[in-house]
Amino acid sequence: MNIKEFEDRILLKELVDRVSILGGRKDFLSQVQPFSKNAVSETFAGGIAILKLKGR
């Protein structure tokens, strides 16, 4: 693994951690901010979609 791959893995882990923490806090609007403007985020609880956000 080269330095660039290592840096990319660290950044990806930080993103996953941040999104997970915000999801745990139920801060869904902040949770989608790191993603693109046309992203779609769906939140499921017990296999049922409870929230769908489009864009930021």
Tens digit of each residue's pLDDT (9 = 90 or more) over 25-43: 989 888 878 888 888 888 8
Q: Domain-by-domain residue ranges, the chain? A: 3-54
Provide the pLDDT for residue 8: 95
**Backbone torsions φ then ψ of 49, nearest 5 degrees:** -70, 125
Provide the pLDDT for residue 21: 93
